[in-house]
Structure 1
Amino acid sequence: MTSYCGAPPDPADLMRSWNLDPILLLALGAGALVAWRSRHPKPALAAIGVLALAFVSPLCALSVSLFSARAVHHLLVVAVAAPLLAMAFTARRPMLPGLAFVVATAVLWAWHLPSFYDAALAGTALYWLMQATLLASAFWFWQAMFAAPPVTGVLMAILGMAQMGMLGALLTFATTPLYATHIGTTLPWGLDQVVDQQLAGLVMWVPGIVPYALAVAVLARRTWARAAAAA
């Protein structure tokens, strides 16, 4: 079985490696229609655009070769598209923020276990199960964070930043190859597998925490504004 995104591409062919799966394109089109008709169309449409970048652009194919590209792919899903969707489709009732954090963290870390990761990249069904659970759990996390009281929301953002940074650090300092899927696939790109793996860790550790840090800043400012207004 091969990955949903195809075989590892040759560097010379990467820019021709667009994913034009008609089912995917129809799903994104339907999502764009729902987004356009939503109460907050701008963040919703932006989220669809991010998902198109992740799944239609050559990034999809590149992520078969490079684990660092897969890290970028996952961040686009869980830390860019998911919060945009959460801003577009706000919660109208409490969303169990503690449970949302635990579930989103467990899902993200589980799919980075070597056995689960390798299995997901070996076939279409598990690949889409990985993507669906990552997006759904991250959407729940961000939606719960935005709906929570400001102090709780700030705490959730800090915890989200901490777990993302911790996962990135573990990958950065790993000195042995973890993922059988990428044995040999990094070499055409001039990268040793461990170097690519460490680069993926840095992607998650540094830029990966930026959306959570921005959320901390926004929620902290909101808390300060409310306290000032009350005073």
Structure 2
Amino acid sequence: MSPDASWSFAPGIVVALVVYVVVYVWRWRQSRAPGEPHPPSVWRLIAFLTGVAAFGIALLSPVDTLGEQILAMHMVQHVLLLDVAPILVILGFTKVLLRPATRRIHTIEKKAGFLASPLFAVFLYTGAMWIWHIPALYNAAAEHSAVHLLEHISFTGAGFLYWWHLLSPVSTRLRRDGMTPIVYMLSTKVTVGFLGILLTFAPDAIYEFYKDQPEYWGLSPTSDQALAGAIMAVEQAVVMGIAIAFLFVRMLDESEKADVRAERFADRAEGPAAERPASEPAAPEPAAGKPAASEPAAGEPAASERAPG
């Protein structure tokens, strides 16, 4: 028996994604006007559009329909909403693109207090994955569309907040120098990856909803759950590796920029002291033991008193 692999064209989601694309493209073209010293690049546009496409795949494509029948496909949907789509969308932003809203973002961050802190983002990211994989909640999300929608909102919100601290083009409360970003990421990737390992090697299927499903693609409930856990664990490891490489390259780039700024500042500071007008040459210092040319030696008459030769 083959599972239902139809598309689910939810009008609200389609409209929202189209609006996001139209607004972004309009702002991207506006930011590339002549005279803008830092226009957003084409790869930023591609990243954003790919991120929106990832949302579309998770919520509109057969992945959504298959997720209601196969646990492994439901897990694919989760990692798209939690990691892939937020990462790509955030990478599509630059300071220039966010310039009209930058102050508002900082104001909201200050008013949110602890809710906008990196520590809360870690708790939210890890908690969203662990809590929603409690069997009672997971079964409820699979059976009821309203709970399923709440689950999707939780994953998307947690993913955006978590990755915003790491990848945002504007400053956040997370220090991005040294090992801080790597520790921030490891604190979530290891814990969520461990959840994937538990699901992979669980001796029995723990989700009643998927126990009652036919064995699509030859997957028994236990093997389906093991595949879902492996998808989670491998995705967390792959994303962690890519993110560490990206953070390392960014750290080197920022360090190089800091060195260039320091050299420029030093050159400007030394410039005025090093310059001397050509009309005012420095007077040579007299040699050791010899009097200056304008001073007569001891016992010798001054130049005005000497008889003409």
Larger radius of gyration between Structure 1 and Structure 2:
2
Note closer, same or farther for the CA distance 1:188–1:222 as it changes in structure 2 (3 Å cut).
closer
Q: Using the alignment, how far apart are the partners of 1:58 and 1:98 within structure 2?
A: 35
Out of 125, 128, 132, the residue aligned to residue 104 of structure 1 is 125
Q: Does 1:179 align with 2:170?
A: no
TM (normalized to structure 2)? 0.65
Structure 1 gap ranges (5+): 1-9
Distance in 2 separating the partners of 1:152 and 1:49 = 31
Per the alignment, do residues 127 and 82 of structure 1 end up closer, same or farther by CA in structure 2, a change over 3 Å counting?
A: same
C-alpha distance in structure 2 between counterparts of 1:172 and 1:12, whole Å: 22
Aligned counterparts of 1:106 and 1:12: Cα–Cα separation in 2: 31
Q: Quick check: 2:193–2:233 contact (8 Å CA) kept in 1? A: yes
Measured in 2, the distance between the counterparts of 1:55 and 1:161 equals 24
Q: What residue in structure 2 maps to residue 76 of structure 1? A: 80
Counterpart-to-counterpart distance in 1, 2:24 and 2:207: 36
1:163 to 1:12, Cα distance in 2 relative to 1, 3 A? closer
Matches within 5 A, 1:2-81: 11=2, 13-14=4-5, 17-39=6-28, 40-81=44-85
TM-score in terms of structure 1 length:
0.85
Match of 2:182 among 145, 154, 169: 154
Higher relative contact order (CA 8 A, sep 6+): 1
Percent identity between matched residues is 27
RMSD over equivalenced CA pairs, Å: 2.2
SS at the partner of 2:16?
helix
Structure 1 residues 13 and 146: CA distance shift in structure 2, 3 A:
closer
1:90 Cα offset (Å) = 6.4
8 A Cα contact 1:64 1:70, kept in partner: yes
CA contact (8 A) 1:160 1:212 kept: no
List structure 1 runs of 4+ shifted beyond 6 angstroms: none
Could you give the per-residue CA deviations for residues 28-51 of structure 1, whole angstroms, max 9, x where no partner exists? 222322332355543222111001
Question: Distance between the aligned counterparts of 1:83 and 1:125, measured in 2?
Answer: 26
Aligned to 1:198: 226
**Which position in structure 2 is the counterpart of 1:6?**
none
Q: Which of the pair is proportionally richer in helix?
A: 1
For each residue in 1:156-211, what CA deviation from the matched residue of structure 2 results, as whole angstroms up to 9, or x when unmatched? 22223212211111111111111111013251321110111011111111133212
* Letter of the structure 2 residue corresponding to residue 62 of structure 1: L
Deviations 1:43-92 (A, max 9, x none): 22211100111111111111111111111111111110011222234695
